[in-house]
Amino acid sequence: MHPILRALPLMLFSSACAAQDSSACLAQIEDVLKSPDPVTARFVMHKKLPGITKPLESRGRVLVAPGRGLIWEVTFPYASTLVFGPTKIGHTDESGSYSVADSPYAAQIIEAVANFDLAAAHRSFFVSCSVQNKTAKAVISPKNKTYADFLSEAVLEASHVLTRMSFMQPSGSVSHISFTSHEMPAAISKADDELLKSVQ
């Protein structure tokens, strides 16, 4: 028997096992991202831009409120806030003034982060996933030009919570975001509640 034919059953078995492992890995990430409870965490982001040797650092907190939206609050190196709702995005400008505008991208951002859907992800992205030391790591790259214009690849890492995200863009910029001090379920303050109401 030809050596390739002899090895074929093992190759097929290995592929099937890899597919099962990948599915279980992605299910782990989906469970984390589709939590029904509000989640808040501290973040540190390092962004490397083409032509700049030292990465830019920012720090702050993020709040994900399923069904309502997402708050991204930067506290260093300067204060700024982004709020994503079902159809609107709110943000502070250089003077600290807050304004809200309709945005066709708001729902897409919420869908990707707060309502992660495995089937939807496979429709728009090439997805691979592996687990090491109980941490699931998914690598995602776009299938179509809609996403490929601003995203080359994304990496998500999660154990029982989301711990790290990385984004590579066609421009050559790379962002790495680490999350710590998670609270789940998180208490939504009056100030956060007002921000979320503003983008409904």
Q: Which residue has the tokens 């995005």?
A: 89
- Confidence tier at 188 by pLDDT (50, 70, 90): very high
Cis peptide bond upstream of 55, omega within 30: no
- DSSP for 18-43 reads HHHHHHHHHHHHHHHHT-SS-EEEEE
Burial label for 173, CB within 10 Å (0-12, 13-18, 19+), is middle
- Confidence tier at 91 by pLDDT (50, 70, 90): very high
For residues 114 and 64, the answer to whether their CB atoms sit within 8 Å is yes
* Nearest-angstrom CA–CA distance, 193 and 191: 5
Fold of 3-198: outer membrane lipoprotein receptor (LolB), chain A (2.50.20)
Among the ranges given (22-26, 36-40, 107-111, 188-192), the one the predictor scored with the smallest mean pLDDT: 107-111
pLDDT at 200: 87
**What is the per-residue pLDDT across 129-138, written as a single tens digit (0 to 9) for each?**
898 888 999 8
Cβ atoms within 10 Å, residue 154: 20
Q: What are the domain boundaries of the chain?
A: 3-198
| Stronger pLDDT, 64 or 21, i.e. the higher one | 64
For residues 179 and 158, the answer to whether their CB atoms sit within 8 Å is no
